[in-house]
Amino acid sequence: MTTSRNDLDAWWMPFTANRDPRMIASAEGMHYRTPDGRQLLDGISGLWCCNAGHNRAPIVAAIQHQAAQLDYAPPFQFGHEGAFALASRIAALAPGDLDHVFFCNSGSEAIDTALKIALAYRHARGEGGRTRLIGRERAYHGTGFGGISVGGLPANRKAFGHGLSGIDHLPHTYDREHQAFSIGEPEWGAHLADELERIVALNDASTICAVIVEPMAGSTGVLAPPKGYLQRLRAICDRHGILLIFDEVITGFGRLGFAFAAERFGVTPDMICFAKGVTNGTVPLGGVIVGEEIHTALMQGPERAIELFHGYTYSGHPLACAAGLAALDLYRDAGLFARARAVEPVFAQAVMSLREEPNVLDIRVVGLAAAIELASRTDMAGTRGYDAMVQAFNENDLVIRISGDTLTLCPALIVSEDEIGELIEKTRAVLRAVA
């Protein structure tokens, strides 16, 4: 199929330089294919979401079968078997007593849902004064007004007003002087969690509802938590009765070698937000996993009364749930979470081989996620990263992700050692081309 420039005007693309798009026509396994037939190595799992690779036959078949059986069921006052089955499967993967799942359609919706559940929980407990929400600098929590309020990426906030009121931010956890070229969790930085104590002292714990963090901050450039940081944050929240929410939209379903990063780091939050990998990226689906205490607090009043005035037309959509069940089967049957753990050292050493390439300031890697931070051009921040993405696509048959002048690599969990080598050598060629 050929397209003209006019064909590309109607779709206003998200987070994109709309006057310079790149076209993809099909996908399979570890690769995309362009309309002119070029095969591209997918270095970013779609967008952190196709953890088992593209167009996996069991997931495709499950979606097709479901579409022919039950295309849609209203989630308000009605349900269908697939949603209950998937919720049970996800709850079984979650740590601790996180055993109730509220479905939505994206990571952004999952974040806003979690924040609303936290506020509703406080109200149900007679703690209506606990409304303050605490996020973290450099955090990405989606694009809803709740998410950009607790998020900490300036570009996502500056054009949209002040957002929600009563928001504080913890400092981010990155310091190149102490953490450069870290594999896994940096040794330095656990003390940064103690900033929460200062915020508590300033506002009083009786005003604070919840803290939300990404266990590993992905969109800002793969910032792994310092050793002991999440444990310290959990302890402070417990001491002051503050809910702890993990945004695992990126880290969920194998990215760090476990079903959830909470398991890898040994910290159980009060809620987990998920999306992306739950359906292997095939059908939009997100959700929030909550513990028994939160769920029970909201299950009050007459049985015929709505307990939480929140939801979406497509919550628990039949096709999404079918895709989710098939994806979880695939992850389990192929042992992909364990496989990610096994291949992580190979991936880490391969990525670190790029440290002497031109303009590389830092490399950070944890699980199957890596960031390569490049020096910015004088008075032209972001252009080296953008040129690297274009170079990769046009000349090196590679798809990478950029955040300013930081390149991100996050291959699917099925990536072979040979494909890791190919990914790194293609990236090396890109770095040299944009030097």
Which amino acid makes up residue 203? N
The single residue listed with the structure tokens 């607790």 is 150
pLDDT at position 275: 98
pLDDT at position 188: 98
This prediction has a pTM of 0.97
CA angle 427, 179, 249 (to 5 degrees): 65
The single residue listed with the structure tokens 């399979």 is 28
Domain 5-55+335-433, architecture per CATH: Alpha-Beta Complex (3.90)
Residues of the chain with CATH 3.90.1150.10: 5-55+335-433
pLDDT at position 9: 84
Q: From CA 354, how far away is CA 358, in angstroms rounded?
A: 9
Which residues, in sequence order, are CB contacts of 45 under 8 Å at separation 6+?
Answer: 51, 281, 410, 411, 412
pLDDT at position 5: 53
Q: What is the pLDDT along the chain (435 residues), one digit of tens a residue?
A: 455 555 778 999 999 999 889 999 999 999 999 999 999 999 999 999 999 999 999 999 999 999 999 999 999 999 999 999 999 999 999 999 999 999 999 999 999 999 999 999 999 999 999 999 999 999 999 999 999 999 999 999 999 988 999 999 999 999 999 999 999 999 999 999 999 999 999 999 999 999 999 999 999 999 999 999 999 999 999 999 999 999 999 999 999 999 999 999 999 999 999 999 999 999 999 999 999 999 999 999 999 999 999 999 999 999 999 999 999 999 999 999 999 999 999 999 999 999 999 999 999 999 999 999 999 999 899 999 999 999 999 999 999 999 999 999 999 999 999 999 999 999 999 999 999
The tokens for 18 are: 């709309």
Domain 60-333 sits in CATH at 3.40.640.10
The tokens for 4 are: 């003209």
Kind of pairing, strands 369-374 and 398-399?
A: unpaired
Q: From CA 289, how far away is CA 248, in angstroms rounded?
A: 11
- What is the Rg, in whole angstroms, of the alpha carbon atoms belonging to the chain? 22
Which amino acid makes up residue 256? L
The tokens for 84 are: 């209950």
The tokens for 242 are: 């503050």
Which residues, in sequence order, are CB contacts of 280 under 8 Å at separation 6+?
Answer: 49, 50, 51, 52, 56, 59, 323, 327, 330
* Lateral strand order in the sheet of 132-136: 98-104, 286-291, 271-274, 243-247, 208-213, 132-136, 167-170
Residues of the chain with CATH 3.40.640.10: 60-333
The single residue listed with the structure tokens 């959990």 is 234
Angle in degrees, 0-180, between the axes of helices 81-93 and 318-333, rounded to the nearest 10: 40
